[in-house]
Structure 1
């Protein structure tokens, strides 16, 4: 489905991402972990079109997308969430999701209605559909951010630290949503610092350090890799 082929991104001569390659198959859940500054979020931005690669290619279903704009990538079937949710606070939850659905290519509000109801149920926000986004708790904002991504009806979702800022009590709630997505066969890449979240949902993990991929494999193999242990624990 997705192929990232030796992409690099430089800022002021410094490499944020250097010669990284990866592939994601249909229905697969791939985790990306690494210390702060490893280039994880930058890599997602190169896939989503928010940043342009200085070197390398990004292919989605065999088509190059590394030169496309964000909305063009979205309409090809790739959605992304942000670490810090950015909904329209003065709009209701339902209307926030509607805007995302229309942005994703749905032709009319009526045509998006069934999708919105399904998305609300998936993320557990049905009872908050008519609440204003500005009234939501942190965990509810995370759910709304995910709902907005799902509303674009994507083939692939890029999830950027969905557990960031949550309490220990709230993390299992977002984990339940991620497991629901997995059970429904939704393909996604999950960048995450909370290792307990990663190991409970992903098929395999990619580890980055200083802009480079240093390890890749199933959870057990990666967690026992000396390069990963060194990156996290010195």
Structure 2
């Protein structure tokens, strides 16, 4: 069995309990939950204790029934927000791509960093290395910089220290911004509301990237427009930059960003 296929059997066994609870959709007694998962109650109980400790499930002190815990609910809400954001943004980027006649992508913050989930191509052929599923380098691409500028600093620091940035498209250690320059670069992104890449990492191709925020002010998505340097106006106040900012702002508004909370 290859290295990529190896897993932890005990987690997979415990996962059957979570799957059974999800299928039920309501609180369950230990014996019923164990039966649905195909496990003896004595074997199921230690898993439930561990899941309770990390918040994946919780037990009602009165009835003794197990139900979905706060961590599971939080993970579900994050997934729903992300799916909602992508669903709302998809027709918007298609409209933007048609208006500017340049490629436009949609990226989310994934396990390995900025991850492309949608790509609208222009009417004319353009050479881009980005495709759906691509991981973008955090500091060397416009997409990555837009995330880096608006994500919590601890998230960015952890990603860089873990080496996630090295996995991304556009990463080149010889061109990677040095520490003193990074803060300046990200401050410019925040000031302009856009990240910009001019002929780098792909020679002859310019790009702008704009963050999209959710109701809590967190970065939900990044929209990136890219095209040949000869036709892609990379001026901060260019019509293209203005359209991209407006598109990102409109999606943010639909996600509840800027609304007054009760």
More strand per residue:
1
Q: Same fold (TM over 0.5)?
A: no
TM-score for the superposition, normalised by structure 2:
0.29
TM-score for the superposition, normalised by structure 1:
0.31
More helix per residue:
2
